[in-house]
């Protein structure tokens, strides 16, 4: 009589009903315009838990022409398919096409409400500035917003020298001094 071990066979994620490698998922608008492209080195689907666990994740937000607006990368992600809540962890980094970079250890994203929160230290860097805080919240709906919470520290570019004050030449009276 053979007994089943508690460890899954080599190459199979624990509890996974389906394991996929080198996965690309694309989300489209109703008119067929690509919106989001997600790449995973590995995706493990757990039917009973209604969950997908991903490893080495990259999510690209696309513009109407298919160009990348921003990319979010993390070492691991877990998405609850019932609630639409995703947890990204293991060095989360977001880069925008403008060169801004946000880094944090982990974040929670509500994919339905299009909101994200992070309670681990967050750092945002861009051309000539840096902002750090212990927590943040963000939204990416029709009014995108990023808020830093509690103890924000910022390093912003200097304003530079004050602009020169323009002076008008004095008006001379005709006829000389009085």
Q: Is the pLDDT of residue 94 over 80?
A: yes
- pLDDT band (50, 70, 90) for residue 176: low
- At 154-166, the pLDDT tens digits run 888 766 555 565 5
Domains observed in the chain: 18-155 (2.60.450.10)
- 90-94, 115-119, 161-165, range with the lowest pLDDT: 161-165
Task: Give the mean model confidence (pLDDT) for residues 124-139.
Answer: 92
pLDDT recorded at residue 14: 66
Share of the chain above pLDDT 70, in %: 80
Token look-up 């609850």 returns 80
Distance CA 118, CA 158 (A): 29
Residue 60: what are its φ and ψ, rounded to 5°?
Answer: -110, 130
121, 129 in Cβ contact below 8 A?
no
Cα–Cα distances in Å, from 131 out to 19, 31, 125, 145, 151?
39, 38, 6, 15, 11
Of residues 113 and 144, more confidence is placed in 113
Say if residue 4's pLDDT is above 50.
Answer: no
pLDDT in tens, 15-45: 788 999 999 999 998 999 889 999 999 999 9
Position 16 scores a pLDDT of 83
Burial 114-126 (b: 16+ CB within 10 A, else e): eebebbeebbbee
């Amino acid at each position: 009589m053979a007994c089943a071990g508690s460890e899954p066979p080599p190459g199979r994620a624990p509890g996974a009903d389906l394991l996929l490698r080198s996965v690309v998922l694309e989300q489209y608008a109703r008119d067929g315009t690509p919106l989001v492209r997600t790449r995973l080195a590995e995706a493990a689907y757990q039917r009973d838990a209604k969950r997908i666990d991903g490893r080495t994740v990259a999510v690209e937000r696309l513009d109407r022409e298919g160009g990348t607006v921003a990319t979010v990368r993390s070492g691991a992600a877990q998405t609850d398919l019932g609630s639409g809540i995703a947890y990204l962890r293991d060095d989360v980094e977001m880069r925008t096409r403008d060169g801004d970079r946000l880094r944090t250890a982990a974040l929670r994203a509500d994919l339905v409400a299009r909101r994200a929160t992070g309670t681990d230290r967050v750092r945002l860097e861009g051309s000539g500035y840096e902002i750090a805080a212990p927590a943040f919240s963000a939204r990416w709906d029709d009014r995108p917003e990023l808020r830093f919470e509690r103890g924000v520290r910022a390093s912003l570019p200097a304003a530079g020298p004050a602009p020169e004050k323009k002076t008008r030449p004095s008006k001379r009276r005709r006829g000389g001094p009085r």
